[in-house]
Structure 1
Amino acid sequence: MIEDPVLGAGYTVRRLDLGADGEGPLVASLVHREPTDHQARRARETVDRDEKPPILVMHGWSDYVFDRALLEHLGRAGHDVWGLDLRKYGRSLLPDQTPTSVDHLSRYDREIGTALRIIGADRPPVLLAHSAGGLTAALWAQRRPGTVRALALNSPWLEMHLGSGVRTLAQAPVRLLAEHLRARPILPAGSSHYARALHRDFGGMYDYDLALKPAHGHRFPAETLAAVLDGQTRLRAAGPLPIPVLVMHSARSRFGASFREEMRRADSVLDVHALARAARRLGPDVRIEPIDGARHDVFLSDADARARAIGILDDWLETLAP
């Protein structure tokens, strides 16, 4: 383990070796917030039944774990905080690799499973997962019951725009294109609307590495889009999750060819209505919270919406039985 160059002092990162694919070696990156002396002493004195669950943060598509303020908040609240950059994302992207490329979302089982073993098999964490990471986390919880305590999903990409009909129509042609194109892009570069709402260089209030989270997003590999569509289909067909689930999302979506100021207080990436409909099918213990003024990443919103999202998360975490 070494000090994490992204988050700096107080955070370590370890490389998880995952073998290789046609582009070469594969790695993932597991980040850990190291407890202060006071927190470590308190953890040793805490009775096991009262211990708060660890939290493992998972990023979305064309993204990485970087929100130190959120990680610090969770750590100060008494949680053991971890973050995972998946293969070919962020800290884990190696030279000559196609960013975000994966042919099936179950490939990520390797790094998730390794991360959970390091955190501790007797300490199932809460997965706090964003966007495409929320879909991956939900699929893991379906396939690996008992390995996670609960899911906290931040604008999870559970469904395509306008719902399951669009996904059903798109799935077969996208699969055929993916077989031909593989890691080559299937979609043109995206707009910079979301980055314009977020990043300081474009008038937003947050700072992050635009090489790891580009303003237009990485080029979307054909096989990755096929993997997402397949994952959404499998999740819809699966049985209910037996664990508590929190789903947070913006109260509204705003799309368009040109940037509008209202996109600063809306989800300009996903259809929140399709997302919410899919979320209601996840299981019997699902809390869905639309947040007025939130962006696609609810924790990267203006101060009022961010505070509301953190308050909802804190409240829900307190409801989890030891």
Structure 2
Amino acid sequence: MSADRLLGEGYEAHQIALGSDAEGPLVATLVHRVAAPAPMDHRPPILLMHGWSDYVLDRGLMEHLGGRGHDVWGLDLRKYGRSLLPGQTATEIDHLSRYDAEIDAALHRIGRDRPPVLLAHSTGGLTAALWAQRRPGTVRGLALNSPWLEMHLGPVARMLAEVPVRLLAQQLRERPILPSGSTHHARSTHRDFGGDYDYDLTLKPPTGHPFPAVTLSAILDGQRRLAAAGPLPLPVLVLHSDRSRIGARFDDRMRRADTVLDVRSLVAAAERLGPQVRIEAVPGARHDVFLSDADARDRALRALDDWLDDSFPAPPSMEEPGHRGT
């Protein structure tokens, strides 16, 4: 472990070696909040997972969870954030199950006898849900922050796109398949554009990294596999904005909406995840609900806290009420 240069004092980073691919060595990075005081034993550890063209960056969220007694970790996947090496194509992956290696290594480091809650954003939410489907018992629950569980306009649009995108991916490989994205989310969040938050714009670019063709194909395949899978046998929380505003031109209403995903498709896919799913619309939230204006961020934090308390309650006290010593 070494001190984490991005989150600063009180956080350590551990590099996970993952072999190599055609672009060279592969690594992932596990960050850990060095707790003081010690976490509460009855509260599960929490492992944060970022979205596409993103990295683990929300120190405020990690401090909040640590202050409530959770042992808090974060994972930058291969070719993202702290794990992106020179000469690599940012975000490139040909199958989401490749990430099993770093998730497995992270869970081993946290402790096999301490399965965590995965707190995962956007594409990370899809990856986390697929992991929980394939590896039952390895995590205690899923808290999904605007997860990219389905394409815009729903399953029909995904099914129409999947074959053409797969064929294009075979030709383009790591080359981009989509034009650069909008700056709408960055304009709403980052201090350089008048927002409230600070993060590294080289690791999380305002327009996103160029979107590799193979990565989009892997996401569509993951969404198909998740839709075909059975219900998740664990508690799930899904947080999302109460509205989407997706368009080419920025307007101020986008500051309090999801400018990335269609929340109706998101909710419909979330409802199919299983019988223990709690879905919460957060009024005024952005795509990353925890990078919203203060009122929406506070609502999202309260919803997360309430779900954690309800899903993982403290064991009953050894002393019965009325029998305490004086």
1:128 aligned counterpart, secondary structure: strand
Give the alignment of 1:299-318 within 5 angstroms: 299-318=290-309
Q: Which residue of 2 aligns with 1:19?
A: 19
Check conservation: 2:29, 2:75, Cα contact below 8 A: yes
In structure 2, the residue matched to 1:89 is 80
The 5 A counterparts of 1:112-127 are: 112-127=103-118
Task: Give 1:1-322 correspondences, 5 Å limit.
Answer: 1-36=1-36, 39-40=37-38, 43=39, 51-321=42-312
Tell me the number of residue pairs that the alignment of Structure 1 and Structure 2 aligns.
Answer: 313
TM-score by length of 2: 0.95
Aligned to 1:27, the other structure's residue is in SS state: strand
Taking structure 1 as the reference length, the TM-score comes to: 0.96
Equivalent residue of 2:200, what SS? coil
Q: CA deviation at 1:256?
A: 1.1
Among the aligned pairs, what percent are the same residue? 71
What amino acid maps onto 2:260 in structure 1?
A: V
Letter in 1 for 2:16: L
Counterpart code for 2:276: D
Cα separation, 1, equivalents of 2:194 and 2:156 = 37
Partner of 2:323: none
Distance 1:318 1:55 in 2: 13
Where 1:201 maps in the other structure, the secondary structure is: helix
What SS does structure 2 have at the residue aligned with 1:148? coil
Distance in 2 of aligned mates of 1:160 and 1:194: 18
Segments of structure 2 that go 5 or more residues without pairing to the other structure are 314-326
Rg larger in structure: 2
Deviation at 1:321, TM superposition (A): 3.4
Query: Is the partner of 1:25 in helix, strand or coil?
Result: strand
5+ long unaligned stretches in structure 1: none
Separation in structure 1 between the aligned mates of residue 228 and residue 146 of structure 2, nearest angstrom? 20
**Structure 1 ranges of 4+ moved more than 2 A:** none
* Letter matched to residue 12 of structure 2: T
Conserved 8 A contact 2:44-2:312: no
User: What value does the CA root-mean-square deviation take over the aligned residues?
Assistant: 0.8
SS at match of 1:26: strand
User: Whole-Å Cα distance in 2 between the matches of residues 205 and 55 of structure 1?
Assistant: 25
1:131 Cα deviation from its structure 2 partner: 0.1
* CA shift digits 1:94-120 (9 cap, x unpaired): 000000000000000000000000000
Q: Which whole-Å deviations, capped at 9, do the CAs of 1:56-103 have from their partners, x for residues lacking one?
A: 000000000011010000000000000000000000000000000000
Query: 1:204: Cα distance to partner?
Result: 1.2
* CA deviations over 1:138-175 (Å, ceiling 9, x no partner): 00000000000000000000000010111000000000
